[in-house]
Structure 1
């Protein structure tokens, strides 16, 4: 039988963390050349989902009223099943009859012992699943369509994130990103067909491909300590009401910092990008001081300080609390001394590269169109 396959890359945040959860506040992300791959093979009357991350045993699913049904007591595949449900709603609205299929997942986004590197596996598996399904039903997996379907799948599981990981996995390369107005999308989801919602302009959403300066090198260090983005964002959200004045200042400072970095990308100004990385690190340290949520752990501080010593600009990536730190450095600067010093304190260099799709993507830019 024919196998339909699609992959999606992992991601790292470069700047704008925490602020990006608020609609309209920009961030910068990058897609990396570690992938989740989803394969589909047509089935007859019952489908299965299988992943090596969950023992490799196939878990069966069936349909009730044209919707995927899986025993929730056996379901470790929440993001996959929600991705299937929302995508198949769109496929049904397109007038295409639904089929059964066997779905399997392969991931490169963790190490041999199963520890996650913090590269956005939930976003990548959602994007890969949707791309594979669209291809399976002979629909072009166009960038904006895939992003919006994936975002709706994550909204359905009450995600508290920014959906930036979905944008990076969908678009690839370097991107500037700001989150859409969740409340608007949730409201319109009750008023419009899914197709109409997907074709609407989503307020505050920005996805803009960026071109890095030719002399920019991205170096990634892993602390060996996985962290939960959901848990850390929840903790910050829990105390936001008590630090309202500071948080407004933080949001504005983050917006100013990241917008300046976006301009620096457009001008090819490496030093200005590095200055933005350092400023963003300070903002996140201030956020820790006001919330008590440790974003830059001691190993991440070591990672960053050693990078600064070796002519790089460094900060934690994503929610922090462990996982990865990133370094922006001039290509002419040697990185072997830095990697050697990292190894001495237990920090692993992840030899990853930026992944870009061959197809080019159009920018999504909210212009305040009528709602």
Structure 2
């Protein structure tokens, strides 16, 4: 096979952000905004990359120097994924890779993990090296750690398995949950969050206050476990209450922002069951569980506070081959 195209979904964190880095569980759902990756075998020993979403067009890198520090930021996840895959299987080849996203990298939908998973899956197909989901996870997760040094892997799992997942750091537990599409409203603050910086910020806070922050993480973990039960029952009113409790704890971790607070309060005012930030904090998106007859009003109140509504469907299919 000389050329393949695959796609992988983005994600939204429902419960457990930051605490998941420290061994507590989280719940994440895949969304129907997808990252598309095309891989083609080429002559020579170069990687040629087209990633117009991150302003990379026709970037060429030598295969013996993949993922170097001097490489543009928008290329590193792709380059390191190729390097790790080739090293795992002893492959040498030239490649052309093109990536296209259905969503902006500014939303915090996990574009880095989605593109990494997409590249690993596409390489496994084009070089006929079958990989099960756990092997794709291990290669992809190691790539994320190689590039940014930190991460729990929940967004990698969402991109691979799809659906809604109960997850523990490093893939120690990956439990797909049998739930239907969720009644969520998603509001974008207009502020791009820097995930690695926020993760390090929380890590520093933890080092300075292990007792206090450890208790916060424990409480977040307990909320996540309760949320799993409520999700399986379809108890969205209970989930909204748990969201509000989770948000209080996230604010104690100092990762809120005025923009997030404004949209969260607006969603509650509009009739949401509950609302919280989703992801690293500091910006990006907030989410709200809403009664179906209140969704439009919740969206309106969010927009009135300067938020942008992002239409998503949850529980999207995981990484897949495209025709």
Q: TM-score, normalised by structure 2?
A: 0.90
Residue number among 209, 218, 222 corresponding to 1:256 in the alignment: 222
Partner of 2:57, secondary structure, is coil
Which residue pairs with 2:40 in the alignment? 41
Alignment partner of 2:115 out of 125, 135, 142: 125
Q: 1:298 to 1:61 in 2, by over 3 A?
A: closer
CA deviation after TM superposition for structure 1 residue 254, in Å: 1.2
The correspondence for 1:218, drawn from 174, 178, 184, is 184
Aligned to 2:301: 341
| CA contact 2:162–2:319 (8 Å) conserved in 1 | no
2:317 maps to 357
The structural deviation recorded for 1:134 is 0.6
1:233 corresponds to: 199
Query: CA 1:358 to 1:323, structure 2 compared with 1: closer, same or farther past 3 Å?
Result: closer
- Give distance in 2, aligned partners of 1:299 and 1:318: 14
2:88 to 87, 90, 106: 90
Instruction: Select 1:107's aligned residue among 91, 101, 125.
Output: 101
Name the residue aligned to 1:199.
none
Q: Whole-Å Cα distance in 2 between the matches of residues 57 and 271 of structure 1?
A: 47
Query: Secondary structure, in 3 states, of the residue corresponding to 1:209?
Result: strand
Inter-CA distance 256–39: structure 2 relative to 1 (3 Å threshold): same
In the alignment, structure 2 segments of 5+ residues that lack a partner are none
Greater mean alpha carbon deviation, residues 144-153 or residues 100-109: 100-109
Determine if contact 2:185/2:290 at 8 Å carries over to the other structure: yes
Distance verdict in 2 for CA 1:72–1:221, change over 3 Å: same
1:99 Cα shift?
A: 2.7
Matched residue, 2:270: 310
Counterpart of 1:172?
162
Displacement, 1:13?
0.9
- Residue 273 (structure 1) aligns with: 239
Tell me which residue corresponds to 1:20.
Answer: 20
Structure of greater Rg: 1
Per-residue Cα deviation, 1:251-285 (whole angstroms, up to 9, x for no partner): 21111111111122223322222222111111112
1:52 corresponds to: 52
Are positions 1:80 and 2:78 aligned together? yes
Give the whole-Å Cα distance in 2 for the aligned partners of 1:266 and 1:337: 27
Distance 1:84 1:359 in 2: 17
1:183 corresponds to = none
**Cα deviations by residue, 1:333-363 (Å, 9 ceiling, x for unpaired):** 2312222222222111101112432899xxx
Q: CA 1:158–1:324 in 2, change beyond 3 Å: closer, same or farther?
A: closer
RMSD over aligned CA atoms reads 2.2
SS of 1:50's equivalent in the other structure is strand
2:9–2:318 contact (8 Å) kept in structure 1: no
- Deviations, residues 116-174 of structure 1 (Å, cap 9, x unaligned): 11111111111111111111112334221211110111222342222211111111111
Q: What CA distance in whole angstroms lies between the structure 2 residues aligned with 1:177 and 1:12?
A: 13
> What residue ranges of structure 1 are gaps of 5+ in the alignment?
181-201, 289-294, 361-371
- TM-score, with length taken from structure 1: 0.79
- The match for 1:207 is 174
C-alpha displacement of 1:287: 2.3
| Alignment match of 1:160 (pick from 150, 155, 166) | 150
In the aligned structure 2, how far is the partner of 1:9 from the partner of 1:273?
24
CA contact 1:213–1:270 (8 Å) conserved in 2: no
Give the aligned partner of residue 244 of structure 1. 210
| Deviation of 1:70 (Å) | 6.5
